[in-house]
Structure 1
Amino acid sequence: MADPWPLWPSVLALLAAVIVVIFAGSRLARTADELADRTGLGEAVAGAVFLGAVTSLPGIVTTATGALQGDAAFALANPIGGIALQTVWLAIADLLYRRANLEHAAASLENLLQAVVLIALLSLPVIAFATPELMIGWIHPVTLLIPVFYVYGLHLQRRMHQAPMWKPIRTGETRDDVDETESDGPLSRLWLTFAALGLVVGVTGWVIGQAGLGVIAATGWPSGVTGFTLTTAVTSLPELIVLISAIRIGALTLGVANIIGGNVFDVLTLTVADAFFLDGTIYAAAGPESLVLLGGTLLITTVLAAGLLIRDRRGIGFEGIGIPAIYGTTIALALVAI
């Protein structure tokens, strides 16, 4: 096991990572919006699949780093905290988009289905926490089911995109997914740009993981809460930057899909965490605060799904108030559970 980084180099590395992800995130939003138009996939699918995967790379690498270093609470808290905090970003974005409630304006059945799939995926680790003695090798069987559920969710999303059976009511505040592509460059160049930005984001994730573990070692802060708040705040910055950039260019559905799709993809990171934690199943090693963080994140996602369904027309809506409140309460309860 490598020695953790000292405190100040860790802090400086986190600050440098913030600058990198801000730059990469703004470029990612425009590139993904153009890919959505030119490939015909639409903003919801492109945001969920393209952006969801790439913006999750820092969290994946951070989680793998923590798991390999043997810190179960830190490794689990990163993906769970990423889902929670990225949902909080939507509440913040509601304040920036003054024309209407963001969940109302970005009406999309695909986004609603993604939220439902996310709730289903998050229920699987709850079962794993309750049955830590079940193992295949050193991995819990639930870990193997998470990718299966994820792929089936993508299948359902594809079916809904091709032949929707429900349609949201269109209002004066609803923003349609409109093809606004102006570039006439080769599509291959767009893909190369997207891949290069993804590589930058992924390398940054490794730096964030090492720096986060360095902060924990130097300060003695609880691993789970640190992963749920500090490192997650940095690894989730690509989603925030992409969301704000998407709102500025009018791609509301893309921005919301980036958050929800990224959250769904983040659940796959739990598979990474269990696979890279070599001292048995990670759910047996994590403390009770990890289960508190998971339960709070499930509740946050449920409130978001309700907001997408109810679609308050004006203001930030009940979800804009409820989600940050649940997030703060979850952190407080996790500290009590340690």
Structure 2
Amino acid sequence: MIYIEYLVLAILVVYLSVRLSYYVDCLDKKTNLSGAFIGGVMLAAVTSLPELFTSLTAVLALDQPDLVQGNVLGSNIFNLCVIGGLMLFTSKRYQQATLSNSHSKTLWYGIVMYACVFIAIFYPYELGVGFLKVNLMSVLILIVYLVNVKFMKHDESGDNAEDVYISLTVKQIALRFIIFSVALVVVSILLTQVTDKIANELQLGATVAGAIFLGVATSLPELSASINLVRIGNFNASFGNIVGSNLFNFIILCFADVLYVKGGIYVNEPQVLNLLGFGAFSMLATLGVIYGKKHRGAVLLCSVLILVSYVLSIALSM
């Protein structure tokens, strides 16, 4: 029964997230914000809600900080697998697509964040007063994210969206967005609890369980939204959703670090180091997909490397 519960909750996460991404897209049509900002910040934040609330549940209700690291780092690698997989089947169409300049910058900022997590593990330095403490690297990660958002907000290099009539008013869109967001939060919390039970039943470490079960399940929104966006030819929004979600996921570590008062959120474990190393490598391979856009062979090679990186990260973490 527990596996059926997991499957049902995962399906609900997909459905709710797809609806939320639709309403964000409606807001996109009603505003003058850049496409990079809409896909890389707004849509990314929406599809990352499962990672956020499952991680907060892991530290506040389950006392499992390892589950948070596995969830975030595992989700990031899986997210990039979405790009890798899509490129294998749509590389010809991708060569003709237009991408915002900020996507490559976002990936570089992501690599900086990987370095911050590595430093936080081996050279922890905490700031704070009384019981409220936070790792210095968590603060730096937040600053890097805000800097990236600032650049994305003004990047209109990849905008080519067509005008589409939206019958809903902004107020109606916002109301629906709030309702589906609340539902997604509830389902995400339940998904975390089920994942913890599966980890205990299979005798998996919390980090591995987070990387496999939570990492995949909470990445389903990015997967669903990105496949649909590529299907309609919007590679720019698809890339923005993935790379933006990865950066937002690192912010989850910051929140968890502040809320977990029993110790530090950054745990030194072999599984975590595997996810860090392969995650950074996947980021570099994704940069290859962008920089080698005009060369189909380079795109295909980098896509395969992304997929291999994910398989190895899981295999070596077991």
- The alignment status of 1:288 with 2:270, answered yes or no, reads yes
1:100 aligned counterpart, secondary structure: helix
Contact kept in structure 1, 2:21 and 2:47, CA below 8 Å? no
Q: Indicate the residue corresponding to 2:204 in structure 1.
A: 221
Distance 1:328 1:195 in 2: 36
Q: Residues of 2 paired with 1:107 and 1:75: CA distance?
A: 32
Match of 1:263 in 2: 246
Cα distance in 1 for partners of 2:6, 2:278 equals 26
Q: Residue 139 of structure 1 aligns to a residue in which SS?
A: strand
Partner residue of 2:112? Answer: 120
Code of the aligned partner of 2:288: A
Partner in structure 1 of residue 291 of structure 2:
309
* Mapped partners of 1:197, 1:110: distance in 2: 29
How far 1:138 sits from its partner (Å)? Answer: 4.0
1:246 alignment partner in structure 2:
229
Distance 1:30 1:75 in 2: 28
Does the 8 Å contact 1:114/1:261 carry over to 2? yes
> Structure 2 residue aligned with 1:111, among 103, 109, 118?
103
SS of 2:261 mapped into structure 1: coil
Alignment RMSD: 2.2
**How far apart are 1:190 and its partner, in Å?**
2.0
User: Given residue 134 of structure 2, which amino acid in structure 1 is its aligned partner?
Assistant: I
Select the residue among 139, 146, 154 that pairs with 2:149. Answer: 154
Aligned pairs (5 A) from 1:67-78: 67-68=59-60, 69-78=62-71
Alignment-derived partner of residue 171 in structure 1: none
Instruction: Tell me the alpha carbon deviations over residues 19-75 of structure 1, each in whole angstroms, 9 at most, x when there is no partner.
Output: 212322332343333322321223321011111111111111111122232222211
Q: 1:213 to 1:63 in 2, by over 3 A?
A: same
Using the size of structure 2 for normalisation, the TM-score is 0.90
Q: Which runs of 4+ in 1 moved over 4 A?
A: none
Displacement of 1:304: 0.7
Q: 1:81 corresponds to which residue? A: 74
- Note the 1:10-25 alignment, pairs <5 A: 11-25=3-17
Contact 1:177–1:253 (8 Å) recurs in 2? no
Structure 2 counterpart of 1:43 = 35
Question: Do 1:100 and 1:313's aligned partners in 2 also have CA atoms closer than 8 Å?
Answer: no
1:310, 1:95 → 2: CA distance? Answer: 14
2: CA distance between counterparts of 1:286 and 1:210?
A: 24
> How far apart in 1 are the matches of 2:175 and 2:249?
24
| TM-score, structure 1 as length reference | 0.85
Identical positions, percent: 24
Which residue among 90, 101, 113 is the counterpart of 2:83?
90
Give 1:99 deviation, angstroms.
4.2
2:66 is aligned with what amino acid?
A
Q: Which moved more, 1:178-187 or 1:132-141?
A: 132-141
What is the distance in 2 between the residues matched to 1:194 and 1:98? 33
Tell me if the contact between 1:48 and 1:260 (Cα under 8 Å) persists in the aligned partners. Answer: yes
Alignment of 1:134-173 (within 5 A): 134=126, 136=128, 137-161=132-156
Unaligned runs of 5+ in 1: 1-7, 162-166, 169-175
2:303 corresponds to: 320
Give yes or no for the alignment of 1:297 onto 2:273: no
Is the contact made by 2:17 and 2:46 (CA closer than 8 Å) also made in structure 1?
no
- Secondary structure of the 2:99 match is coil
Amino acid at match of 2:149: L
Whether contact under 8 Å (1:113, 1:157) holds in the other structure is: no
Q: Are residues 45 and 28 of structure 1, via their aligned partners in 2, closer, same or farther at CA, if it must alter by over 3 Å?
A: same
Cα contact 2:40–2:241 (8 A) shared by 1: yes
Q: Tell me by how many angstroms 1:188 deviates.
A: 2.1
Contact 1:90-1:256 at 8 Å conserved across structures: yes
Going from structure 1 to structure 2, the CA distance change for 1:36 and 1:274 (only over 3 Å counts) comes to same
